[in-house]
């Protein structure tokens, strides 16, 4: 650890020095760039125009000198035209040159000497010559030309030449400043780049030694453990963070080794029991069945290993009807599987004798023998594929769901306001015709509130109380609507005449968040789908409750396109991390989400919705079967799949 701490300090010092060096280099680069820009500006804005103006000024001086000589020799005043033009332009050029040289004191002083020489030449030469010529005294004018004129003009010419030479020297110096600034800029950038590259190279070397090698050693050890060499220890080398990570990985490896050893012992203990469990599972798996006009598909997700306490079965009766059974015994594992197999065999035998489902349940319970600590629930449905007539018995089992969906050319399978196949009728309306797959419908006060299908309750009237039903949620003429995002399927807010106490299904007040009452229809008109709940018709299967007529029989008709969804409680009692159940309302919402799905897709999507809601380890077996009536010639029931 001392080496690691020293390495950390070294990296911090190196980073600080590199940062300072880079900042200095960048400052030098900026300074050189500014100097270069300033020098270039001086030359482009001042010196170059000043040199041009000086040359123009000298040309005007020469024009005036030549014009005077011609006028004196020829006495022709036409020679004075260039003189007068130059006399007008010289003040302008002088002022311009003075402005251009404002930032150059030495050049301005030189320019002042040029102006003084020009004034002396005009006073001592030009004015006397013009006065003499105006008097007609040509001899005096020519005498001035021979004695004074050439001397003064040569002085003026020398002053202008010296000014031009000084401007040229300043231009050369500006060019030198531009060049030196460019060199400084390039050298600063090159130095900064060198420092950056050196810093990066140093960091790479240090990282390889300090990070990459320890990480590589950690990776090799983890790969060895993943390959099955569980005794490979994880090295603790490198910086503090990697050492801590390696310690955590080593702890995980030790725990993994313990679990692997325990698993090996468990496999050894199960080696002799495995074939029996597999045989029991195969005995509970339904055989392939084809029934004309029906689609059957089932699925079992066991809570423990390969064997579940739930089962389903479907087989053809001697008279051509099809029997569908879904059962759930208490507990799971091998004991529950054996009990489920006994129930399955007894129910199959009873139904094969063509007795009705209620009597078949009674006979099965009578022949089970002593089942003090075991009990079971089951739903038995017998359907005629030719007519769609369905007889069912529910022995304390969760409500089966019947999806009614209108099909082209046969919309009559949708329940109307005056029709109630079992009890009350719930008709739901969805603005879009579907319920989202991830809709969360509240089953308790703390549950999230989300939009849900609006639902209308339409049931038989109570003759003694017009506009009111029984008041217990089982019926009534009050129309209740689950409105807004704070209501759910089965939640109700009275919009008609309110009746006595109820659970929100009879319009007694704001919805309670409960699922629609048993035997109700929940669905979507715009989505052309309804869901009918098929409630229990008797108690659970127990010798204590087995008496003649304990399990009643209900009848209904499957129309083309209808789907019967039977399931066990493990599907709706799955809990999320907060302990909230998936609930029947979420299952109904998933079924109504897309009523146009195939039965197989509907079943798979329901299991997927439960798994997304409760992704952890299952606490109970999950089983469901789909029975759909279709116009197809044949259909298949497949074994359960996980």
Only one residue has tokens 């409630």, namely 535
Lowest mean pLDDT among 145-159, 322-336, 430-444: 430-444
Share of the chain above pLDDT 90, in %: 20
Is residue 88 domain-shared with residue 182, that is, in the same domain? yes
> Residue 336: which CATH number?
3.60.40.10
Is residue 345 domain-shared with residue 442, that is, in the same domain? no
SS3 call for 263: helix
Which residue, 185, 211, 237, sits at the end of a domain?
211
Is residue 160 domain-shared with residue 32, that is, in the same domain? yes
Q: Is residue 225 part of a domain?
A: no
Angle between helices 150-207 and 2-42 (to 10 degrees): 160
Q: Is residue 264 part of a domain?
A: no
Q: Is residue 166 part of a domain?
A: yes
Is residue 61 domain-shared with residue 124, that is, in the same domain? yes
Q: Is the pLDDT of residue 469 over 70?
A: no
- As a whole number of angstroms, the distance between CA 582 and CA 534 comes to 19
- As a whole number of angstroms, the distance between CA 138 and CA 129 comes to 9
Q: With cut-offs at 50, 70 and 90, classify the pLDDT of residue 382.
A: very high
Q: Is residue 218 part of a domain?
A: no
Q: Is residue 493 part of a domain?
A: yes
Which residue, 492, 527, 562, sits at the end of a domain?
527
Residue 477 C-beta-side C-alpha neighbours within 13 Å: 11
- Dump the DSSP string for 120-152: HHIIIIIHHHHHHHHHT-HHHHHHHIIIIIHHH
Question: Which pLDDT value is given to residue 560?
Answer: 92
Is residue 182 domain-shared with residue 92, that is, in the same domain? yes
Q: With cut-offs at 50, 70 and 90, classify the pLDDT of residue 498.
A: very low
Is residue 398 domain-shared with residue 439, that is, in the same domain? no
Residues 6 or more apart whose CB falls under 8 angstroms from that of 227 comprise none
- Average pLDDT score over residue span 408-436: 43
Residues 6 or more apart whose CB falls under 8 angstroms from that of 358 comprise 393, 537, 538, 549, 550, 551, 552, 553
Is residue 542 domain-shared with residue 512, that is, in the same domain? no
Number of domains in the chain: 3
Q: Where are the alpha helices (DSSP H) in 511-568?
A: none
- Average pLDDT score over residue span 545-563: 88
Q: Is residue 274 part of a domain?
A: no
How many other CB atoms are found less than 10 A from the CB of residue 40? 15
Q: Find, among 331, 426, 381, the residue nearest to 563 by Cα.
A: 381
- As a whole number of angstroms, the distance between CA 488 and CA 59 comes to 102
- As a whole number of angstroms, the distance between CA 364 and CA 346 comes to 6
When computed from its CA atoms, the radius of gyration of the chain, rounded to whole angstroms, is: 53
Lowest mean pLDDT among 155-169, 175-189, 362-376: 175-189
Q: 456 or 244: whose pLDDT is higher?
A: 244
Is residue 506 domain-shared with residue 536, that is, in the same domain? no
Question: Which pLDDT value is given to residue 485?
Answer: 30
- Average pLDDT score over residue span 231-235: 83
- The pLDDT tens digits of the residues spanning 34-43 come to 666 565 666 6
Question: Which pLDDT value is given to residue 424?
Answer: 37
Q: Is residue 197 part of a domain?
A: yes
- The pLDDT tens digits of the residues spanning 585-597 come to 999 999 999 988 9
Question: Which pLDDT value is given to residue 393?
Answer: 96
Is residue 372 domain-shared with residue 430, that is, in the same domain? no
Q: Is residue 108 part of a domain?
A: yes
Q: With cut-offs at 50, 70 and 90, classify the pLDDT of residue 455.
A: very low
- As a whole number of angstroms, the distance between CA 283 and CA 281 comes to 5
* Domain interval for residue 383: 289-408+530-636
Is residue 472 domain-shared with residue 609, that is, in the same domain? no
Share of the chain above pLDDT 70, in %: 68
Q: Is the pLDDT of residue 608 over 90?
A: yes
Question: Which pLDDT value is given to residue 241?
Answer: 78
Which residue, 475, 509, 527, sits at the end of a domain?
527
Is residue 617 domain-shared with residue 569, that is, in the same domain? yes
Phi first, then psi, for residue 586 (nearest 5°) are -70, -35
Question: Which pLDDT value is given to residue 5?
Answer: 59
Is residue 302 domain-shared with residue 190, that is, in the same domain? no
Phi first, then psi, for residue 502 (nearest 5°) are -165, -175
């Amino acid at each position: 650890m001392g080496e690691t701490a020293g390495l950390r300090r070294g990296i911090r010092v190196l980073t600080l020095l590199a940062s300072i060096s880079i900042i200095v280099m960048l400052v030098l680069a900026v300074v050189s760039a500014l100097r270069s820009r300033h020098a270039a500006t001086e030359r482009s804005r001042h010196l170059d125009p000043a040199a041009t103006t000086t040359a123009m000024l000298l040309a005007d001086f020469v024009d005036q000198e030549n014009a005077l000589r011609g006028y004196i020799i020829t006495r022709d005043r036409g020679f004075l035209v260039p003189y007068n033009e130059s006399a007008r332009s010289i003040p302008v050029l002088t002022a311009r040159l003075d402005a251009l040289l404002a930032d150059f004191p030495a050049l301005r002083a030189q320019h002042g000497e040029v102006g003084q020489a020009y004034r002396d030449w005009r006073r001592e030469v030009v004015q006397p010559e013009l006065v003499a010529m105006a008097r007609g005294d040509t001899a005096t004018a020519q005498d001035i030309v021979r004695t004074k004129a050439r001397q003064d003009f040569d002085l003026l010419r020398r002053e202008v030449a010296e000014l031009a030479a000084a401007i040229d020297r300043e231009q050369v110096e500006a060019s030198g400043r531009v060049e030196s600034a460019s060199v400084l800029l390039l050298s600063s950038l090159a130095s900064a780049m060198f420092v950056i590259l050196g810093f990066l190279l140093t960091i790479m070397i240090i990282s390889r030694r300090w990070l990459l090698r320890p990480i590589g050693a950690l990776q090799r050890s983890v790969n060895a453990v993943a390959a099955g060499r569980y005794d490979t220890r994880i090295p603790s080398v490198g910086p503090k963070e990697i050492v801590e990570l390696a310690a955590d990985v080593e702890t995980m490896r030790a725990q993994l080794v313990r679990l692997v050893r325990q698993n090996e012992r468990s496999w050894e203990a199960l080696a002799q029991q495995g074939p029996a469990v597999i045989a029991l599972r195969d005995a509970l798996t339904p055989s392939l069945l084809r029934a004309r006009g029906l689609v059957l598909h089932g699925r079992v997700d066991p809570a423990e290993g390969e064997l579940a306490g739930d089962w389903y079965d479907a087989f053809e009766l001697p008279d051509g009807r099809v029997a569908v059974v879904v059962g759930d015994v208490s507990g799971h594992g091998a004991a529950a599987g054996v009990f489920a197999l006994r129930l399955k065999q007894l129910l199959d035998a009873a139904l094969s004798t063509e007795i009705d489902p209620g009597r078949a349940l009674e006979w099965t319970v009578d022949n089970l023998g002593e089942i003090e600590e075991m009990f079971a629930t089951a739903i038995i449905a017998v359907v005629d594929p030719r007519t769609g007539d369905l007889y069912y018995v529910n022995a304390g089992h969760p409500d089966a769901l019947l999806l009614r969906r209108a099909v082209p050319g046969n919309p009559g399978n949708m329940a109307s306001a005056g029709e109630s196949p079992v009890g009350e009728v719930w008709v739901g309306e969805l603005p879009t015709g579907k319920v989202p797959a991830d809709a969360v419908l509240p089953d308790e006060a703390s549950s999230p509130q989300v939009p849900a299908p609006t639902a209308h309750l339409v049931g038989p009237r109570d003759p003694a109380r017009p506009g009111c039903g029984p008041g217990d949620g089982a019926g009534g003429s009050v129309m209740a609507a689950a409105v807004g995002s704070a209501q759910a399927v089965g939640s109700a807010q009275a919009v008609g005449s309110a009746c006595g106490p109820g659970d929100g299904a009879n319009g007694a007040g704001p919805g309670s968040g409960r699922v629609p009452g048993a035997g109700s229809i929940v669905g979507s008109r715009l989505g052309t789908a309804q869901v009918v709940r098929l409630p229990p018709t008797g108690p659970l299967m127990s010798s204590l409750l087995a008496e003649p007529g304990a399990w009643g029989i209900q009848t209904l008709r499957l129309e083309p396109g209808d789907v019967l969804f039977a399931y066990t409680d493990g599907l709706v009692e799955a809990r999320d991390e907060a302990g909230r159940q998936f609930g029947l309302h979420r299952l109904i919402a998933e079924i109504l989400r897309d009523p146009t799905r195939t039965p197989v897709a509907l079943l798979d999507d329901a299991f997927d919705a439960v798994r997304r809601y409760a992704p952890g380890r299952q606490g109970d077996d999950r089983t469901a079967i789909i029975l759909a009536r279709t116009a197809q010639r044949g259909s298949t029931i497949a074994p359960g799949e996980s």
